[in-house]
């Protein structure tokens, strides 16, 4: 039996459970299964992101899942917390990571990021973004070994957490409208 959305949200919303990127144990058994995660920003990161979004941000900025079984085709994805958090997000893969694309869209001016194609930061920009992330972000992970209901569980947890940088399935707001516009502008100059 999986923990309740409330229990998972309580864990993910506790800053004491977040680990700085340089301290994420890439070999940890905790990361070798599907699950949920939340991203946390330090004050400098919140300032930079908040400037782009014209608002103040809470420290918990984004949450997501890795490895959910698809609802339409009942296909279990092979992704794990490690492949998603470490392999895509922490490597600033803007093509495969909505979170990285969101960060790149908000930080393209202050970090001097450029895009080689729509939604794709060039290699040098990905490196700058990954370095910035390692300096300013931390992540909490919550393993959910049975991915069968992970997608619906994610929806329930996101509703409870309401992370400001999440777009899909979230209620509209001026911040999310601005974020959508910034992401749409993430194209080659």
Residue 189 maps to a domain = no
Q: Which of 92, 104, 91 is nearest to 186 (CA)?
A: 104
Q: Is residue 35 part of a domain?
A: yes
Q: Tens of pLDDT along 5-40?
A: 999 999 999 999 999 998 887 768 888 889 999 999
**Cα distances (Å, whole numbers) of residue 61 to 65, 69, 103, 148, 188:** 14, 25, 10, 26, 26
The whole model's pTM is what?
Answer: 0.92
Lowest mean pLDDT among 74-78, 96-100, 146-150, 170-174: 74-78
Sign of CA dihedral 86, 16, 173, 188: negative
- Residue 76 resides in a domain: yes
Number of domains in the chain: 1
In a domain, 20, yes or no: yes
On whether residue 29 sits in a domain, the answer given is yes
Bridge partners (DSSP) listed for residue 64: 37
Asked if residue 172 is part of any domain, the answer here is: yes
CA angle 125, 127, 133 (to 5 degrees): 100
Residue 177 tokens, joined: 């409208």
* Mean pLDDT value across residues 99-126: 93
Residue 103 domain boundaries: 5-184
pLDDT in tens, 44-53: 999 999 999 9
Half-sphere exposure of 108 (CA within 13 A, CB side): 23
What percentage of residues in the chain have a pLDDT greater than 90?
61
């Amino acid at each position: 039996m999986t923990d309740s959305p409330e229990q998972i949200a309580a864990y993910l919303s506790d800053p004491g459970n977040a680990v700085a990127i340089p301290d994420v144990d890439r070999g940890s058994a905790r990361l070798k299964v599907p699950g949920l995660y939340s991203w946390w920003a330090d004050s400098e990161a919140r300032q930079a992101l908040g400037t782009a979004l014209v608002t103040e941000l809470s420290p918990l900025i984004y949450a997501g899942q890795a490895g959910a079984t698809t609802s339409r085709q009942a296909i279990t994805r092979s992704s794990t917390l490690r492949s998603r958090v470490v392999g895509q997000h922490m490597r600033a893969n803007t093509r495969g990571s909505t979170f990285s694309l969101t960060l790149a869209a908000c930080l393209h001016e202050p970090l001097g990021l450029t895009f080689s194609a729509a939604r794709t930061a060039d290699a040098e920009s990905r490196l700058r973004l990954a370095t910035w992330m390692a300096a300013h972000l931390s992540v909490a992970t919550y393993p959910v070994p049975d991915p069968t209901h992970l997608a619906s569980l994610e929806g329930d947890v996101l509703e409870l957490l309401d992370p400001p940088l999440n777009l899909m399935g979230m209620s509209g707001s001026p911040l999310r409208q601005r974020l959508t516009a910034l992401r749409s502008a993430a194209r080659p100059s």
